Amino acid sequence: MEGNEPTVLGRLLALNRPLVMGILNVTPDSFSDGGRFIDPVAAVQHAKDMIREGADIIDVGGESTRPYTGAKPAGLEEELARLHNVLPAVVALGTPVSIDTIKPEVALWALQQGATIVNDVWGLQREPNMARVVADHSVPVVVMHNRYKADPNINIVSDINAFFSYSIELAEKAGIPRRSIVLDPGIGFGKTPEQSMLAIAKLAAFKRFGLPILVGASRKRFINEISPSEPMERLGGSIAAHVMAILNGATIIRTHDVAETLQALRVATAIRDMK
């Protein structure tokens, strides 16, 4: 159980500014940068670059969770093998590391290597043991809204709120303190492009839980629907979405492009805070 000392994430949130989570995919098939950082040397160097650019957290994933292109699931041993020579080396750089996984076994291994946050794209609702792993290690968890299939006929804001309520219930039953939970509306996951945009536009609806909100719109497909572009050509759209997210109440931004995103957030919040 968590004591009175704040978690790593709690200390970062106490800085009272937007946080930037840099994405490090050590996968062959992620929708945007699959294969670029399979080599451990390249992966660790990319983490160093993102830290130099100002990343507050490095989010390391060994299995693609791309929601709309049918990525092949990685087996447990394969996912661990991808992470084995990367995650401990990234932890050693000294910046907080989150593990992006849906497997409790991978989360456990990563926490034993020094990761300090678990990022679960199924919000503790897919693998029953995930909440117990998080609780046993007294670390924060990002619970992301997800659906197996987009349904254009549902009220996506209501669906996200109901999902969050259940995830929080699971977390608290497992012994995860409420202050250790971060909410992620899951932009692009189980949503139409219009629903992804609506989730950002209506972000204030999720503040009812009184918890930090993370948004990861980086290079997502909805940008292509507005301005046709390949994933690597969506920097402008990503920044626009992330600025809107911060202005609508997000606390953490998850991005592939740390330097550009951080500059945009600094300018946007400086203008917002002018008296």
Residues recognised as catalytic: 220, 254
Tokens representing 54 are 């100002």
What CA–CA distance (Å, rounded) separates 120 from 98? Answer: 10
What is the per-residue burial (b if ≥16 Cβ within 10 Å, else e) of 236-263?
ebbbbbbbbbbebebbbbbbbbbbbbbe
**Three-state DSSP class for 250?**
coil
Task: Tell me which residue of 156, 159, 67, 141 sits closest to 104, measured CA to CA.
Answer: 141
Bridge-based pairing of strands 117-120 and 97-100 is parallel
What CA–CA distance (Å, rounded) separates 145 from 202? Answer: 14
Q: Are 44 and 73 in contact (CB under 8 A)?
A: no
Tokens representing 228 are 């046709």
- Which letter does DSSP use for residue 213 in this model? B
What CA–CA distance (Å, rounded) separates 58 from 50? Answer: 8
What CA–CA distance (Å, rounded) separates 187 from 201? Answer: 11
What CA–CA distance (Å, rounded) separates 32 from 52? Answer: 22
